[in-house]
Amino acid sequence: MISKLCQRFGGSATRSQEKRVFRVTKTGHLGAKILMMFSTVVLLSCNPPQKDYPLRLSTNSWVGYEPFYIAESMGYFSKDAIHLIEMPFSLTMDQSLRAGTLDAAAVSLSRALSLVGAGHDITVLMILNWSNGADQLIAHPSIKSVVDLKGKTVGAEENTVNGYLLQRALQINGLSISDITFKHTQNTDVADAFRAGEIMAGAVYGAEIPILLSLGARPIFDSSDIPGEILDVLIVRTPYLEQNPDKIEQLILAWFKGVDHLKHIAAGAKRPIGLMSDKAFKAAIRQIKFASIIDNTDFLQNTAKKLEALINLRLALTNSLGISRERSRTSQTKPLINSVPFFDAISKVGE
């Protein structure tokens, strides 16, 4: 059946077909989501991975990945060499990486650890950005500080940036997870749990923040209090990296050109077509920081000791949260970190 469908598409998934398949939003109907996931398998399976095949990079509609799309719009990389695929569902990305039909992805560090825990052979190449207030711990107005959470029920999603944010907030303020009643709550369910009185505070990001604020809750801690800790990273399948160093280098250089172009946009230059509306982009851009070449050098030099230390902290806090095996896919296995492609790429900046 798959082979017949591949023939129907001419044996190859085009860029426009990829866009139509993957640009299904979270609010889409269940049937549309199932169709999208099936179409993912069909279209990507039509093109078995080859050394001369374009690098297929998975992203989603998040301001932190916008430089990739700016780079595409500005022609900073060849579309014959790199394809950007917006893939909003993590399960689909997981399956595609496992099948070898995706080569690289822009993900949170938490997600990278989950992928390694699930058995993926991936390598972390560099830091893309970090949250600077985009992730928040928001509480009932009667709670004035993190210390006041002692004895209260707090919601957060395990094994994600939300759980990490909560853990760090407690740790910095002299508390531990045993000082609160922890309730596993997915990001999209935090506002409902707060409204129902099931939790007194919750760690959230994105659209849940204004909803909680409209209910009278107030932020008591956010990611700007732990700068450089809630990261997005660029990962690649290790076998692909070994076979295609030139394409990886082109992608890294294009990313930094896209980041540099954002500076011109901030100064008033017209923004090229991206994934987000101008209004959403301007609101979100204030709460993240894009990692510069200098930032990446800081994280990756000396065999990536700084990034390694952050990974160790993340794993230690994940374990102390007491995450259930059913919900957690993170193990103590650490991802490979290879800084060589980054340093090779930046050595050519200005050439």
Do 192 and 318 reside in the same domain of the chain?
A: no
- Phi, psi of 173, rounded to the nearest 5 degrees: -100, 20
Do 190 and 256 reside in the same domain of the chain?
A: no
Q: According to the model, what pLDDT value does residue 155 have? A: 97
Give me the number of domains the chain comprises: 3
Question: 171-186: per-residue pLDDT in tens?
Answer: 999 999 999 999 999 9
Do 219 and 266 reside in the same domain of the chain?
A: no
Give the predicted TM-score (pTM) of the model.
0.79
Task: Compute the distance between CA of residue 35 and CA of residue 28 in angstroms, rounded to an integer.
Answer: 11
Asked whether residue 64 is domain-assigned, the answer is: yes
Q: Among residues 173, 194, 225, which one ends one of the domains?
A: 225
Give the residue among 8, 29, 26, 28 at the shortest CA–CA distance from 17: 8
Burial of 47-68, coded b for 16+ CB within 10 Å and e otherwise, reads bebeeeebbbbbbbbbbbbbbb
Do 206 and 235 reside in the same domain of the chain?
A: no
DSSP letters for 130-152: EESSSEEEEE-TT--SGGGGTTS
Asked whether residue 111 is domain-assigned, the answer is: yes
Asked whether residue 351 is domain-assigned, the answer is: no
Determine the structural domain holding residue 181 and report its residue range.
Answer: 135-225
Q: According to the model, what pLDDT value does residue 318 have? A: 72
Residue 238 CA to its chain's centroid (Å)? 19
Give the residue among 133, 294, 318, 160 at the shortest CA–CA distance from 220: 133
Q: According to the model, what pLDDT value does residue 324 have? A: 42
The answer to whether residue 153 scores a pLDDT higher than 70 is yes
**Range among 191-195, 269-273, 292-296 rated most confident:** 191-195
Do 120 and 29 reside in the same domain of the chain?
A: no
Do 265 and 335 reside in the same domain of the chain?
A: yes
Residue 102 CA to its chain's centroid (Å)? 16
Instruction: Please tell me the total number of residues recorded for the chain in this structure.
Output: 351
Asked whether residue 6 is domain-assigned, the answer is: yes
DSSP letters for 315-327: HHHHHHTT--TTT
| SS3 at position 230 | coil
Do 105 and 166 reside in the same domain of the chain?
A: no
Q: According to the model, what pLDDT value does residue 270 have? A: 65
Are 189 and 172 in contact by the 8 Å Cβ rule? The answer is no
Do 248 and 320 reside in the same domain of the chain?
A: yes
Do 221 and 292 reside in the same domain of the chain?
A: no
Asked whether residue 81 is domain-assigned, the answer is: yes
- What is the rounded average pLDDT for all residues in the chain? 81
Are 234 and 255 in contact by the 8 Å Cβ rule? The answer is yes
Instruction: Determine if residue 218 is left, alpha or beta; phi over 0 gives left, psi from -120 to 50 gives alpha, anything else beta.
Output: beta
Q: Among residues 205, 225, 245, which one ends one of the domains?
A: 225
Q: According to the model, what pLDDT value does residue 34 have? A: 45
| CA atoms within a 13 Å half-sphere pointing along the CA-CB vector of 125 | 30
Are 299 and 307 in contact by the 8 Å Cβ rule? The answer is yes
Do 180 and 53 reside in the same domain of the chain?
A: no
Do 237 and 211 reside in the same domain of the chain?
A: no
The enclosing domain of 186 has a CATH number of 3.40.190.10
Sorting pLDDT into bands at 50, 70 and 90, what band is 61?
confident
Asked whether residue 276 is domain-assigned, the answer is: yes
Strands 218-222 and 181-184: unpaired
Are 104 and 236 in contact by the 8 Å Cβ rule? The answer is yes
Q: According to the model, what pLDDT value does residue 64 have? A: 86
Scanning the chain, the segments in alpha helix (DSSP H) are 2-8, 15-22, 30-45, 66-74, 90-99, 109-117, 161-172, 190-195, 208-214, 238-243, 245-266, 278-285, 293-320, 340-346
Asked whether residue 242 is domain-assigned, the answer is: yes
Q: Among residues 161, 192, 225, which one ends one of the domains?
A: 225
Give the residue among 106, 92, 127 at the shortest CA–CA distance from 275: 106
Do 185 and 236 reside in the same domain of the chain?
A: no
32-41, 145-154, 252-261 — which is least confidently predicted? 32-41
Asked whether residue 298 is domain-assigned, the answer is: yes
Distances (CA, A) of 191 to 13, 111, 338: 39, 23, 39
